Structures are given as structure tokens and as C-alpha cells.
Chain A
Amino acid sequence: FPHWGSSYHLYTTILLFFPSHPWETVTKAAMQKYPNPMNPSVIGVDVLDRGIDKQGRLHSKRLLSTEWGLPSIVKSIIGNSRTYTYVQEHTAVVLYKTFYILTLLLFPLQITFTNMVSVDEKLTYKPHPEDKDKTILTQEAIISVKGVSLSSYLEGVMASTISVNAGKGREAMEWVIRRLNAEIEELAATARGTIRTPMAAAVTEK
């Protein structure tokens, strides 16, 4: 019989590399992560608060509205708003003179349909110490279960779910990065187009 007051924590650490993306690119992508096709359940993102603290770190608190796609017959019984899950996300961006660290702390309000298990994820993006064109992502999951001892089987299931999601998370970031790069390419092409005309005129004048 579960009792409240004690909790169990499971930490898993996953190290992933983002080859060929400098930290600035990855950070911009992290701030514009949604929408992306790997997270179709995220249907709304709102900034609740934002500010720079005494150490110059930029904090953002965001609300993610997610819809898990329950069958419409269920929705018609329990009503539309009841099928939404809301996730709170807190990010902090830190800049240090010549190197950068970004820490993303995710505090899900309700990631399962029971409130006995909660999963906190911590993602840290750092520039690769030897290659400025690479970024290292460290992902940690902290699973808290109130008053219930977790069997090792359940631990295994949760750990492999988190590894799969870590892979998806990286896919999502790669997608956003490609999209941002495509936008930059488009802008650059437009800029080249505008510059070309006066230069061509200068050449023909010779």
C-alpha cells in the first residue's frame, strides 16, 4: 500500500554529440524547438516569464500545451480541455566571455496519468572543448516515485523509454537546425540578389 512522504530517484545519464553544429546554432534551435514533426503532441507554447538574473543568465519559464490524441469518443464524453497535459519548462542560458553553456531544466507538471510518478529531465548543451563547431548534449532523467519501491523491471522500461526519447529529442533539434539554416540561406540568397545589381551596373560602366 503506497504511502506518501518518501520518494525514489533514478538518474540516467545519456551523452549525445551534435557533430558539425556550433553551440550558438543549437541554442537558437532550443529556443525555437516547437513545432517540429517529432513532437506532434505539443500544440501550444507560451512564455510565462522571462528575465536576466544577477549573474547575467537569461531565464525563461514556458508552458507547453500537449494533446495526446485520445479517441474522439472519449473526448466527447470527458470534454476537450480534459485531454490536455500541461508541461512547464524552465530554461536558463548562460554566457561566459569566450565559451557558452546552456542548461535546459524541464519540470513536467504531469508526464504520466498518475501523480505518483514524476519525471524531471535535465538537458545540458555545452560547446565541445576541442571543436567549436560541435556541441555536447548531456541528458539526465530523474524519476521520482512516491512511496512505491520500483522493481528493476520497471526501472529498465523507464530507462529504455528515456533513451528512445533522447534520440527523438536529438532528431527534433536537428530538424529545427535544418529549418533555421534554410531560412538563413534564403535571406543570404536574397541579400546576394540585391547586391548583384549595383555591382553588375558598375562592371558594365567600365
Chain B
Amino acid sequence: MNSVGEACTDLKREYDQCFNRWFAEKFLKGDRSGDPCTETFRKYQRCVQKAIKEKDIPIDGVEFMGPNKDKPES
């Protein structure tokens, strides 16, 4: 599966692998002990946000997580 930004596909795959592993082995088992993917996510995001701006993709401004938002612990 590709990223919306062609240059971001490798970063996306790296992040997806990290997330899928954390999701299955930690989150679904109730383990909240930190997120090993913050750095890969940051790198991936920088690339994607740039691609979205360049392609002029309209992103809905609906508030993410709504009123339940809390700063994730790092």
C-alpha cells in the first residue's frame, strides 16, 4: 500500500510495521507502557503533511478525539 506522497511510502511502511507490532503485542493486551513508534511517526508525518499541502488535499478540520483529547505520555 502506498502513501499519498510518493516519497513517503518507505517511511509509511516503517511506521506501519512498528504500529502493527505494538498494537497486537501491547495495546490489545492492555499494556500501555509507552509508544516505541513516536520517532518513526514524526519522520513519516513531516513527509505526509508536506505532500498534502503540495497536492492541495482538503482535510476535514473535525477535532481529532473531540473533547476527550489528552496529551499522550511520552
Binding site for B on A (CB under 8 A): 24, 27-28, 31-32, 34-35, 43-59, 61, 63, 65, 81, 86, 88, 90, 93, 95, 97, 100, 107, 109
Chain A residues lying within 8 Å of B4, measured Cβ to Cβ, are: 44, 46, 63, 65, 86
Which secondary structure dominates chain A's binding surface?
Answer: strand
A54 and B64 contact, CB distance less than 8 A: no
Most chain B CB inside 10 Å of its own CB: which residue of A44, A46, A51: A46
Binding site for A on B (CB under 8 A): 1-5, 8, 12, 15-16, 19-20, 23-24, 27-28, 30, 32, 41, 44-45, 48, 52, 55, 57-60, 62, 64-65, 68-70, 72
A88 and B68 contact, CB distance less than 8 A: no
Residue of B5, B59, B65, B72 near A88 (CB, 8 A) is B59
Extra contacts, 8 of them, besides A48-B45, A86-B58, A88-B62 (Cβ < 8 A), are: A27-B28, A35-B1, A47-B16, A57-B68, A63-B57, A95-B30, A100-B28, A109-B58
Residue of A28, A35, A57 near B24 (CB, 8 A) is A28
Q: What is the CA–CA distance of A110 and B39 in the complex, to the nearest angstrom? A: 32
A53 and B2 contact, CB distance less than 8 A: no
Chain B residues lying within 8 Å of A44, measured Cβ to Cβ, are: 1-4
Chain B residues lying within 8 Å of A51, measured Cβ to Cβ, are: 64-65, 69-70, 72
**B44: min CB distance to chain A, Å:** 8
A45 and B68 contact, CB distance less than 8 A: no
Closest B residue to A64 by beta carbon equals B4
B41 and A32 contact, CB distance less than 8 A: no
A28 and B28 contact, CB distance less than 8 A: yes
**A13: min CB distance to chain B, Å:** 23
Closest B residue to A42 by beta carbon equals B1
**A63: min CB distance to chain B, Å:** 6
Q: What is the CA–CA distance of A44 and B20 in the complex, to the nearest angstrom? A: 17
Residue of A24, A56, A65, A88 near B60 (CB, 8 A) is A88
